[in-house]
Amino acid sequence: MKHSHPVPEDRPIALADEHARAWSPKTARSRFREGLSGPTAGIAAGHTQANLISVPADWAYDMLLFCARNPKPCPVLDVTDAGSWTTALADGADLRTDLPRYRVWRDGELVDEPTDVRAHWRDDLVSFLIGCSFTFEWALTAAGVPIRHVEQGRNVPMYVTTRQCRPAGRLHGPMVVSMRPVPPAHLSAAIRETSLLPAVHGSPVHCGDPSALGIDDPGRPDFGDPVDGEPDDIPVFWACGVTPQAAVMTSRPPFALTHAPGQMFVTDARDEQYRVL
């Protein structure tokens, strides 16, 4: 499943501003509100990032059920009231303006990728904030696991797999995964550290041969950027919060708003709040 619309060639914000890791979540959101866009890995380090999908209220139960039946790719952190653009995860934030870039979907087709969706907002939209694997990268870094896409200034590569999610009402579709090349000596640490963060996808769904997930060419991700690993690196795949977008493309609801892959909502929550002891 390839893009149905050209994707802007954004570079990681960290490359544009060396202080971005130290931004507060409020500062990050204000910069995005002003129009700054790009992948958010490493931005406002230590604060939880989230995927966004907003659907009409008459599709909200289907989406909630889809998330409940597929908690690995779709761990829900918050659900808004219909029409609300605020969330308990970020005081004073506006879900219509405070992400770097959005996607607008009509009948399963991508029709726009603006940096502000106020013109597209509807009073019946229910928004779901879903855990993001960028959140567990602090734990990987602390454990000495290299994060290749951050090192290389790229968006994380994401792939549509042949693994089908459990359907829910009118929603169905394949699981999307993110991939990080991991040195063999760090594999056990990567599995251990991410398994302690189930609210942001938890442990990997697969390690090793990409073809086991139906990925023919790891150098051509469906979303994000290709990332170069070292010769002995093992490709490790985690369930990804872009999965609802794959469900939108497959199930074709009349309307939806989402984040652009890799360009997340930065919350006020601290990463360690989601760590299981």
pLDDT one-digit tens code per residue, 222-232: 999 999 999 99
Residue 41 φ then ψ, to 5°: -55, 125
pLDDT one-digit tens code per residue, 118-130: 999 999 999 999 9
**What are the Cα distances from residue 204, in Å, to 3, 137, 248?**
25, 13, 24
pLDDT of amino acid 19: 79
User: How far apart (Å, rounded) are the C-alpha atoms in residues 172 and 178?
Assistant: 19
Q: How confident is the model at residue 4 (pLDDT cuts 50, 70, 90)?
A: very low
pLDDT surpassing 60 at residue 117: yes
User: How far apart (Å, rounded) are the C-alpha atoms in residues 129 and 255?
Assistant: 17
pLDDT one-digit tens code per residue, 156-191: 999 999 999 999 999 999 999 999 999 999 999 999
For residue 177, the SS3 value is strand
Q: How confident is the model at residue 18 (pLDDT cuts 50, 70, 90)?
A: low
pLDDT of amino acid 42: 85
pLDDT of amino acid 7: 42
To the question of domain 136-239 being in CATH 3.40.50.10800, the answer is no
User: How far apart (Å, rounded) are the C-alpha atoms in residues 258 and 129?
Assistant: 10
pLDDT one-digit tens code per residue, 131-165: 999 889 988 999 999 999 988 888 999 999 999 99
Domain boundaries, the chain: 136-239
Exposure b/e, 136-174, CB count within 10 A at least 16 = b: bbbbbeeeebbbbbbeeebbbbbbbbebebebbeebbbb
Closest CA to 75 of 277, 221, 238: 238
Overall average pLDDT of the 3-9 stretch: 43
Percentage of residues of the chain with pLDDT beyond 70: 94
Tokens of 69: 């039946």
Q: Count of CB atoms within 10 A of residue 47's CB?
A: 22
User: How far apart (Å, rounded) are the C-alpha atoms in residues 273 and 97?
Assistant: 25
pLDDT of amino acid 41: 87
